[in-house]
Amino acid sequence: GAVVSQHPSWVICKSGTSVKIECRSLDFQATTMFWYRQFPKQSLMLMATSNEGSKATYEQGVEKDKFLINHASLTLSTLTVTSAHPEDSSFYICSARDPLAGVPDTQYFGPGTRLTVL
Amino acid sequence: GENVGLHLPTLSVQEGDNSIINCAYSNSASDYFIWYKQESGKGPQFIIDIRSNMDKRQGQRVTVLLNKTVKHLSLQIAATQPGDSAVYFCAALLARSNYKLTFGKGTLLTVNP
């Protein structure tokens, strides 16, 4: 099946620094990628929808200036957490949609990135 | 917006028993409903889906039932195995909303050997 990778798998950073997380579709071209955040023992919350070559669409309550999303190619989207604070510590998961696959299981999820802000 | 939730936060079963995980949704305009399995520290894994105009769909050891009258769906796992232990999420997909998924709260399934 389709594979989506994330890098890094985990990261620890100091408060006030920025962290970039990459999401790659390895064997298909993803016109749309999604970024989710998951706190412990909670569900996945959609942060933003990223379309290749255009600006991301953020969900209500998600600060676009804090969570910068770049979808520069059909196989790569990046999420940058700027000026990270301890409350940004979470599990960040991306998914990529293969437009050539049948609906609905066209979203393939990455393995997630564990961010810990000290 | 869509509101998708689960009735039971935890479910503990004996190995070999059948498991039933429930989910309620609010937006009847959803096109598909999907069940995902998430193991600790990993991303969600697709299990099975059902189109909104269907009532039942079966897979290998899993069955999803959709009751549109009461906006409820369930995931049945037959002969539950220790490897089935995970958190299970239902999600609703709205195609016209750029294929966005809205996830339910999740149910932790524990299978006792």
Q: pLDDT at residue B3 above 80?
A: no
Q: What is the pLDDT of residues B43-57, one digit of tens each?
A: 999 999 999 999 999
**Rounded Cα distance, A91 and B87, in Å:** 15
Chain B 10-69, residues with CB within 8 Å of chain A CB atoms: 31-32, 34, 36, 41-46, 49, 51
Q: What is the pLDDT of residue A13?
A: 96
Q: What is the pLDDT of residue A107?
A: 84
Give the pLDDT mean for B18-40: 92
Query: Chain centroid to CA A2: how far?
Result: 17
Q: What is the pLDDT of residue B99?
A: 83
Residues of chain A predicted below pLDDT 50: none
Least Cα distance to A10 among A111, A86, A97 occurs for: A111
Give the pLDDT mean for B28-47: 93
Tokens at residue B96, please?
């016209």
A93 neighbors A78 (Cβ within 8 angstroms) = no
Q: Name residue B21's beta-bridge partners.
A: B75
Q: Which residues of B touch A32 (CB under 8 A)?
A: 98-99
Least confident of A17-21, B73-77, B97-101: B97-101
Task: Choose the closest CB to B105 out of A43, A95, A105.
Answer: A43
